[in-house]
Structures are given as C-alpha cells and as structure tokens.
C-alpha cells in the first residue's frame, strides 16, 4: 500500500492487506483453520513466549481477522486493534483489562441499555463498581474519579439521547488524574462521523454489527488502542501493565511492547482466556461492509437529517431528537466534533403517548420493527419495552428513554419512500382513531338517550364481574429481578367457552378487570421463565358485616360480595385435585410462583411407586399375569382324582379334538380348561353332573 497519507474512503478498501504473494488473490481470503504450522520447535517456543509475532491458534489470531483489525485501526487512527465476537464482548474485555475486583469505573447515565446493565449488574458480580454521572459534564466526571477509578467511559453519540459529549473537556479532567478515557464509537460509524482518538480518547470500542457491517448479517466487535496512554507514568494505578506477568514468566508488557501494550494484553490474556474471538467468516463479512462504509454513512446522515426535519413539522409528532437539528441540546457540540454528518439515528414522540407510538410502528410497511441499528434498511423500535426494558422506570428516564419515544435507525432507501411510509402509517392510524372516537360518541349518545331502566340494566351488568390481579412477587428466588421479564409475557384466565388475556404491566402485574363467577385456570406465558398454574374459583356470595370474599367491595349486612379462592395446580392435573391453596390479598391480588428459567430443572410434585396400584387397569393386568404364570403350577399340584376327571373331560370335548386333529398334533389338555368350574370344584354343565359318578368310578378302575 502507498506510503502517502490516505483518505478514509481509500483506507476502507486497502488498509491492512496486500495482494496474496503466492496466489495473487486481490480479495481478502478466508483462512478457515484452527491452527498454524511452526517452522520448527524453536519457532513455536518463541511464539508462545511472546518473543516473536505470528499465528498460533485462531482463538488468539487469524489472518482474515488480522486484516479486519488493521483496517479498523487505520480508520480510527489507532496503533492496533483486537476483534471480538460482539460489541458487548469487546466492551467486557476492555474493562476487564483495566479494572480488577475493588476498582471502579466512571460512566454516564446516557448509555445503551445493554451497556448500562452490563456495568451495573454483571461487573458488580466481579467486584467492579460503576459510578454513573447524570449527563456528560466534565466537572461531574472529575468529581466522581477517585484512587480506585480505572476508566472513564462515554459514548461518542449517546443512545438514545444522541447527546455528543465534549470529548476534549472530559479527556482533560480524566488525564489530569491519570485515568484513560474509553469511547464507544459505534454510532460514529467506524470513525466516519467522528474519530475520538483525534480528540484525546485512549481506547475506542465498537459493535461492528452496526454501521461497520451495515447489512444486519453479522455479529462482531472490536477494540482499538490509540497507543497514546503512558502506562509507565501511571504504574501505581495500573500495575498489571508494568509489573512482571505471572502468565508469561515475568514478562513486562509496557517495557516489551510500548505503545501497543493495551492491545497485546487484551489479546494474550483476555481474548485467550475468555475465547470471545471473531471467526474468519464473520471477519470477511465485516470487511465487505467496510468497503462501502463511507458511501452508506453519508446516505444514512442525509436521510436522517431529512427525516428529522420532516418529523419536526408533522402534526402527529410532539418532539424530535436528532443532533443535526438546531433544537437539539447537543447541536453545537455535534457541529464541533461530527464533521461528516450527524449520524444515522433519531428519536421522536407521537402525540398520544406510547400507545399511539406503538400503533404508528405497527402500521409501517417498509420500515422494520426490530432490535438493531446501522442496517442499510430503515428500522424502528420502542426502547421503553425492549432495549432498555431491564432498567427501572427511573433509570430509563435518567438515560433519556421515555414511554412515548420511538427510535428510528434511518437506512439508505430513497428518502421519499421512507417519508411515504410514515405518512401512510400516520394516516391509517388517524382514520382508525377517528373511527374509534365516532363509535364511542355514538355509543355515548345512545346511552344518553336510553331509559332509566336500560341504565339500571347496564349498571347491573357491570356489577356482575370483579377484578382479579396476578402479581409477580418483588424478588422471588427463581427471579431476583422481575423487571427482566420480556415485554411479551402475558397471562390467561381460561374457563369453558371463555378465555381472558392480560399483558404484563410495568408493575409486574396482570390485571383482569371483568371476571365473572366461575372456575378458571390461570396461566402465565413467558419466553424465559416457567410459572406455576393456578385454579381460581370466583363466586358471588352474600356478605355479612364487613364485606366478603376478596375484599373488592365494602359491604354491610345483606350486601353481596365476591369470594375468590385460589389453589396452585399443575398441567394435566385432575380438576378435582385442587392442590395447595394460595392466599388472596386485599383487592383480589394473587401472587404467582416462579418455578424457574425455561430449559432448566423444575421441581415437580412427589411421586410414589405404590400410587400406580390405584389404577384398575394395572391391577387387572397384574392378576392376569399371575394366573398365566401360576396355572401350570396349580395343575401339577391339584388332587389326582380331580386331575384325572379334568383330563377325561378335555378328551371328550369335541372342539379340543378338532383343534388337535387340524394341527396334526395331540389334543391340547389346556385348550379348554374351565377355570370357573375347576375353582368351584364342580362341572360346568348339567350333562357333566349326570356323568360325574361314572367318571370317578372309571378313574378309580383305571388306577
């Protein structure tokens, strides 16, 4: 490749690779191999001892992956890069290389939900805590840094506020305290919109799945080392970078590798031990994406700005968030750092709140409703119930996620077609809403014009039902955090000829408002966890003083109330077997038991072998088997006179003789054995009774 400085558009095609010297292949080959041949034993020893660079095993390094790493490092302005199996893996290895148990990192509330959850939940299990600063002011980061802080972590374009932090100000306060700055530049499109290293960032991470890959086909991540952080100067804070390594016979990373120390340590310790490597097939797919990155990123930004301007004027939209709009709080900062466009993603709120926004998303025909960004196709999602679903409501709001927020990853389609899809969806929703309002108005007028008797009848009908609420307990053993349940979780209340359904609410409850008297099977349907089914009996009862039943109504003597009784059951159970009764809390609230995660062992009811003998079919089978195997023994031990009489009777039986003649064999003495007669000690018919004495006499005479 040329030694002249090259532009981004050229680097994305050429960086990290020369034509193959042997085959002359121009495209990057896929090296589908696990391992590599050493020149000799000494060569292998040098590679394992980190005394020489080269390929050992594809978990650590692969030639196809190596091209991808070098190309991304060139695009971001770094000295080295390490590819990972995903963006989350890249992020995990980055923090894992910097911080140990007892340390902390400082980050912001303006984070992608998956990152926030990894920092808050997963890292805390390893003893690494995260201090979340509200916003991205440099002075707030400075105040949060202490002697145990090992990194400051921000996103180049926040998700989903799309705030652009003042990199240079944050880097300044972090470096003054000897702390490196890590920037997630996923929304920076591989360095096209912004190169954080140029503004002082020490480490950059990416989810390469997004704009780098660009087509929604491949999962991958990457870490880029700027080579600018002086680990030797801050040896007290980062002893792992300068002190002898236990895993490599005392090798000192900083002394040996200098500017690429961080990248080497991630590769030979974190990547080696965790195994979160990028496979060569995925690397080749990502390399194909990089070749068109600048073209796609330019169109993404153009379309996003045009769509944001359209939505800002729409009568159906209450607000729009896009850093390219003058109304955005980060617009001035964005103009300072984002030189090639303001990104390809935006958010907006629909008038009418979250329900109206969901209807708009459901009405799209061109735009896809799915959990991804950076695809060439335009994508939409409702973050409140998806990407940030694991967060509490307070954490969602703090990170910029509101219930009415709809996120749009703007694709590279023609902008007119994207806008047309918005227009048709909002038009259809408006017509649907007007139809609903008209129907409601007609119903109201009809009710207003009805007689008092009809109104009384309507009231009577309303009083014939009660409300039942199923609740997931706050912290059951099998589900410490109920807020992790997927939004698709629902509950059903089923009886003969009728079924009710209720979605999972933000309070982790399922509310059934119109439950009439009867017996129901209550079941919770969840993609991740199994719940114990319940039998629910709802009855209308006469209440004494103080009300009745499930406490839905306060009633004095003579008033009617509701009785709600609940038992835990199991699928396939006899309806008459009610199982253990479950208490009904005030207001008709019932706790459902979480049995465990799906795919894992679930404790079942006890089983006794003796219980099988209660089945009459089993008993009859056992008796038949006993008779079948015991009959020969009974015949051998029977009274000789009775046996002689029985044998004579068998010989006189014409059917027995016929069967024996037909088969060319002697008659079977067991063929027509009369068990009832034998057990009774008598003949089976009147004719035999008449011959009974003669038979006995003949038997004695023969003997």
Average pLDDT over residues 494-517: 83
Cα(86)–Cα(215) distance, integer angstroms: 15
Cα(365)–Cα(383) distance, integer angstroms: 20
pLDDT at residue 543 is higher than 70: no
Give me the torsion for CA of 260, 261, 263, 267, rounded to 10°. Answer: 130
Reading the block at residue 543, the tokens are 């209440």
Q: Poorest-confidence range of 16-25, 123-132, 563-572, 627-636? A: 627-636
Q: Poorest-confidence range of 142-146, 186-190, 606-610, 617-621? A: 606-610
Cα(389)–Cα(625) distance, integer angstroms: 61
Cα(70)–Cα(81) distance, integer angstroms: 6
The more confidently predicted of residues 432 and 348 is 348
Condensed to tens digits (0 to 9), the pLDDT of residues 327-358 reads 999 999 999 999 999 999 999 998 888 788 88
Condensed to tens digits (0 to 9), the pLDDT of residues 672-695 reads 445 445 544 544 444 444 444 444
Cα(405)–Cα(384) distance, integer angstroms: 7
Percent of the chain residues past pLDDT 90, beyond the cut: 53
Average pLDDT over residues 165-173: 98
Please give the full DSSP string across 49-108, using - where no structure is assigned: TTSS---SBTTT--HHHHHHHHHHHHHHT-SEEEEESSHHHHHHHHHHHH--TT-EEEEE
Q: Poorest-confidence range of 131-135, 220-224, 383-387? A: 383-387
Reading the block at residue 326, the tokens are 């003058």
Pairing of strands 345-350, 317-321: antiparallel
Condensed to tens digits (0 to 9), the pLDDT of residues 213-226 reads 999 999 999 999 99
Predicted confidence band of residue 148 (pLDDT cuts 50, 70, 90): very high
Predicted confidence band of residue 615 (pLDDT cuts 50, 70, 90): confident
Question: Are residue 239 and residue 306 in the same domain, yes or no?
Answer: no
Instruction: Report the domain count for the chain.
Output: 4
Phi-psi category of residue 62: left, alpha or beta, with phi > 0 → left and psi -120 to 50 → alpha: beta
Taking alpha carbons only, the member of 588, 596, 595 closest to residue 566 is 588
Question: Are residue 316 and residue 343 in the same domain, yes or no?
Answer: yes
Count of helix runs (H) and strand runs (E) in the chain: 25, 23
Question: Are residue 265 and residue 357 in the same domain, yes or no?
Answer: no
**End-to-end Cα spacing for the chain:** 118
305 in any annotated domain: yes
Per-residue pLDDT, 571: 66
Please give the full DSSP string across 650-666, using - where no structure is assigned: HHH-HHHHHHHHHTTS-
Reading the block at residue 563, the tokens are 């009785």
pLDDT at residue 146 is higher than 50: yes
Question: Are residue 493 and residue 535 in the same domain, yes or no?
Answer: yes
CA distances for 603 relative to 193, 597, 598, angstroms: 54, 12, 12
Q: What H or E segment, with its residue span, contains residue 123? A: helix 123-125
Burial class (CB in 10 A: 0-12, 13-18, 19+), 702: exposed
51 in any annotated domain: no
Final residue before a domain boundary, out of 401, 428, 455: 428
Question: Are residue 247 and residue 368 in the same domain, yes or no?
Answer: no
Cα(77)–Cα(31) distance, integer angstroms: 26
Reading the block at residue 313, the tokens are 């004027």
Per-residue pLDDT, 131: 97
Condensed to tens digits (0 to 9), the pLDDT of residues 2-53 reads 566 899 999 999 999 988 888 889 999 999 999 999 999 999 999 999 999 9
Per-residue pLDDT, 181: 99
Cα(580)–Cα(697) distance, integer angstroms: 71
Question: Are residue 228 and residue 322 in the same domain, yes or no?
Answer: no
For residue 218, the domain's CATH number is 3.40.640.10
**Whether 103 contacts 229, CB under 8 Å:** no
Question: Are residue 281 and residue 306 in the same domain, yes or no?
Answer: no
pLDDT mean across residues, the chain: 84
Per-residue pLDDT, 495: 82
Predicted confidence band of residue 437 (pLDDT cuts 50, 70, 90): very low
Per-residue pLDDT, 435: 46
Condensed to tens digits (0 to 9), the pLDDT of residues 45-94 reads 999 999 999 999 999 999 999 999 999 999 999 999 999 999 999 999 99
Final residue before a domain boundary, out of 238, 267, 290: 290
pLDDT at residue 454 is higher than 60: no
Longest dimension (CA), the chain: 129
454 in any annotated domain: no
Strands of the 221-225 sheet, one edge to the other: 80-84, 221-225, 203-207, 181-184, 149-155, 104-108, 129-133
pLDDT at residue 545 is higher than 50: no
Sequence-ordered strand ranges (E) for 351-396: 368-369, 379-381
Per-residue pLDDT, 599: 57
Q: Poorest-confidence range of 114-118, 347-351, 384-388? A: 384-388
Cα(189)–Cα(193) distance, integer angstroms: 6
Residue in the structure block whose two tokens are 């939409």: 380
Question: Are residue 229 and residue 316 in the same domain, yes or no?
Answer: no
Average pLDDT over residues 304-327: 95
Per-residue pLDDT, 241: 97
pLDDT at residue 701 is higher than 50: no
Cα(601)–Cα(585) distance, integer angstroms: 30
**Whether 83 contacts 69, CB under 8 Å:** yes
CA distances for 104 relative to 119, 124, 131, 132, 173, angstroms: 10, 9, 7, 11, 17
Per-residue pLDDT, 547: 39
pLDDT at residue 573 is higher than 90: no
460 in any annotated domain: no
pLDDT at residue 97 is higher than 90: yes
Paired with 383 in beta bridges are none
Taking alpha carbons only, the member of 287, 204, 284, 228 closest to residue 11 is 287
Per-residue pLDDT, 385: 82
Taking alpha carbons only, the member of 167, 212, 181 closest to residue 76 is 212
Question: Are residue 416 and residue 357 in the same domain, yes or no?
Answer: yes
The more confidently predicted of residues 699 and 647 is 647
Average pLDDT over residues 260-268: 98
pLDDT at residue 235 is higher than 90: yes
Per-residue pLDDT, 686: 43
589 in any annotated domain: yes
Cis status, amide bond into 197, omega within 30 of 0: no
For residue 320, the domain's CATH number is 3.90.1150.10
Pairing of strands 317-321, 509-515: unpaired
> DSSP H helical segments within 503-571, as ranges?
none
Predicted confidence band of residue 402 (pLDDT cuts 50, 70, 90): confident
Q: How many residues in total does the chain contain?
A: 703
Question: Are residue 383 and residue 530 in the same domain, yes or no?
Answer: no
Final residue before a domain boundary, out of 290, 306, 336: 290
Q: Poorest-confidence range of 71-75, 150-154, 382-386, 678-682? A: 678-682
Percent of the chain residues past pLDDT 70, beyond the cut: 82
Predicted confidence band of residue 384 (pLDDT cuts 50, 70, 90): confident
450 in any annotated domain: no
Per-residue pLDDT, 431: 52
Average pLDDT over residues 642-668: 63
Question: Are residue 481 and residue 515 in the same domain, yes or no?
Answer: yes
pLDDT at residue 475 is higher than 80: no
Predicted confidence band of residue 527 (pLDDT cuts 50, 70, 90): confident
Average pLDDT over residues 566-580: 76
Per-residue pLDDT, 222: 99
**Whether 291 contacts 67, CB under 8 Å:** no
582 in any annotated domain: yes
Please give the full DSSP string across 470-515, using - where no structure is assigned: EE--SS-TT-S-GGGS-TT-EEEEEETTEEEEEEPPTTSEEEEEEE
78 in any annotated domain: yes
Reading the block at residue 468, the tokens are 């039942």
Q: Which range marks the domain in which residue 490 is found?
A: 466-542+560-602
490 phi, psi to nearest 5 deg: -145, 165
The number of beta carbons lying within 10 Å of the beta carbon of residue 478 is 14
Question: Are residue 578 and residue 619 in the same domain, yes or no?
Answer: no
Per-residue pLDDT, 587: 78
Taking alpha carbons only, the member of 330, 298, 326 closest to residue 411 is 298
Taking alpha carbons only, the member of 74, 334, 346 closest to residue 191 is 74
Cα(545)–Cα(575) distance, integer angstroms: 33
């Amino acid at each position: 490749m040329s030694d002249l400085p090259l532009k981004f558009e050229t680097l994305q095609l050429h960086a990290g690779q020369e034509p193959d010297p042997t085959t002359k292949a121009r495209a990057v080959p896929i090296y589908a191999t696990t391992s590599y041949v050493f020149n000799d034993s000494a060569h292998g020893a040098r590679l394992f001892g980190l005394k020489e660079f080269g390929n050992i095993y594809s978990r650590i390094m692969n030639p196809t992956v190596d091209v991808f790493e070098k190309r991304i490092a060139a695009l971001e302005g770094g000295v080295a890069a390490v590819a990972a199996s995903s963006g989350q893996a890249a992020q995990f290895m980055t923090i894992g290389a910097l911080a140990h148990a007892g340390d902390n990192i400082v980050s912001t509330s303006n984070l992608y939900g998956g990152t926030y959850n990894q920092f808050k939940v997963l890292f805390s299990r390893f003893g690494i805590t995260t201090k979340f600063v509200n916003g991205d002011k440099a002075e707030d980061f400075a105040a949060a840094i202490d002697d145990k802080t090992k990194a400051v972590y921000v996103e180049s374009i926040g998700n989903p506020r799309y705030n652009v932090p003042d990199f240079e100000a944050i880097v300044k306060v972090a470096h003054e305290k000897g702390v490196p700055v890590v920037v997630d530049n996923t929304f920076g499109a591989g360095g096209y919109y912004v190169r954080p290293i140029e503004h002082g960032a020490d480490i950059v991470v990416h989810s390469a799945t997004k704009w780098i890959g660009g087509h929604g086909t491949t999962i991958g991540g990457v870490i880029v080392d700027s080579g600018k952080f002086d680990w030797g100067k801050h040896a007290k804070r980062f002893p792992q970078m300068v002190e002898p390594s236990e895993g490599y016979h005392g090798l000192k990373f900083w002394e040996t590798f200098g500017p690429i120390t961080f990248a080497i340590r991630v590769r030979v310790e974190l990547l080696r031990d965790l195994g979160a490597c990028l496979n060569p097939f995925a690397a080749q797919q990502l390399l194909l994406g990089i070749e068109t990155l600048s073209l796609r990123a330019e169109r993404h930004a153009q379309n996003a700005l045009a769509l944001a301007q359209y939505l800002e004027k729409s009568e159906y939209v209450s607000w729009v968030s896009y850093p390219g709009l003058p109304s955005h709080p980060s617009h001035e900062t964005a103009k300072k750092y984002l030189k090639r466009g303001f990104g390809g993603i935006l958010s907006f709120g629909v008038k009418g709140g979250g329900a109206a926004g969901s209807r708009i998303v459901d009405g799209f025909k061109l735009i896809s409703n799915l959990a991804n960004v950076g695809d060439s196709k335009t994508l939409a999602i409702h973050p409140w119930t998806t990407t940030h679903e694991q967060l509490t409501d307070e954490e969602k709001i703090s990170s910029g996620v509101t219930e009415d927020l709809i996120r749009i990853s703007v694709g590279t389609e023609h902008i007119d077609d994207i806008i047309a899809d918005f227009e048709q969806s909002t038009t259809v929703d408006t017509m649907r809403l007007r139809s609903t309002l008209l129907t409601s108005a007609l119903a109201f007028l009809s009710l207003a014009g009805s007689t008092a008797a009809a109104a009384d009848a309507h009231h009577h009908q309303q009083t014939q039902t009660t409300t039942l609420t199923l609740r997931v307990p706050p912290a059951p053993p099998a589900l410490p955090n109920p807020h992790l349940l997927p939004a698709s979780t629902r509950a059903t209340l089923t009886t003969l000829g009728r079924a009710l359904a209720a979605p999972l609410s933000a309070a982790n409850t399922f509310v059934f408002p119109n439950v009439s008297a009867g017996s129901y099977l209550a079941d919770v349907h969840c993609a991740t966890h199994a719940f114990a089914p319940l039998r629910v009996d709802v009855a209308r009862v006469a209440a004494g003083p103080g009300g009745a039943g499930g406490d839905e109504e306060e009633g004095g003597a003579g008033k009617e109330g509701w009785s709600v009784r609940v038992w835990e059951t199991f699928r396939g159970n006899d309806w008459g077997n009610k199982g253990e009764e479950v208490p009904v809390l005030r207001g008709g609230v019932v706790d459902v038991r979480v049995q465990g995660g799906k795919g894992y062992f679930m404790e079942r009811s006890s089983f006794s072998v003796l219980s099988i003998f209660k089945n009459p079919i089993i008993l009859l089978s056992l008796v038949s088997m006993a008779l079948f195997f015991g009959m020969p023994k009974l015949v051998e031990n029977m009274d000789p006179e009775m046996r002689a009489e029985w044998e004579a009777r068998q010989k006189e039986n014409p059917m027995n003789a016929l069967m024996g003649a037909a088969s060319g064999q002697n008659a079977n003495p067991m063929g027509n054995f009369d068990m009832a007669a034998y057990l009774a000690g008598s003949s089976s018919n009147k004719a035999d009774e008449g011959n009974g004495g003669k038979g006995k006499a003949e038997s004695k005479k023969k003997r």
